[in-house]
Amino acid sequence: MSDTIFGKIARGELPARKVHEDDLCVAFHDVAPQAPTHLLVIPRQPIPRLSQAQDGDEPLLGHLLRVAARVAKQAGLADYRLVVNDGAGAGQTVFHLHVHVLGGRPMGWPPG
């Protein structure tokens, strides 16, 4: 499996503005924020994309959502949007699963 920037951040080999860290995941600020608050939650385990997660990853996936909600609350967000881009056609550019946490401005629908 090829390594990614997020793999390096998860291992502490690249710097990131971290807001949360535990045994299973890391959350940090996106370098190119698309909203006043834009955080990313990544598993330490290098799952390339959501569709490659396995049945056994379900507790981990649930944990990522719980941490996303926790860091959103810590950032003062009452309303926010979670995004998981699954594949290049959906906008995924880093092939290490991540949950975007976006907030601090009104969110339009449908998304672009």
CB nearer to ligand AMP: give 32 or 78: 32
Active site annotation includes 20: no
- Joined tokens for residue 7: 């793999």
Per CB under 6 A, the segment of 54-62, 65-73, 86-94, 103-111 that binds ligand AMP is 86-94
Q: Could you tell me which of 65, 40, 38, 52 has the C-alpha nearest to residue 2?
A: 52
Gap between the Cα atoms of 60 and 63, Å rounded: 5
Q: Is 93 near ligand AMP (CB under 6 A)?
A: yes
Gap between the Cα atoms of 46 and 2, Å rounded: 9
Which stretches of the chain bind ligand AMP, using CB under 6 A? 5, 16, 30-32, 40, 85, 91-94
Q: Annotated active-site positions, please?
A: 98
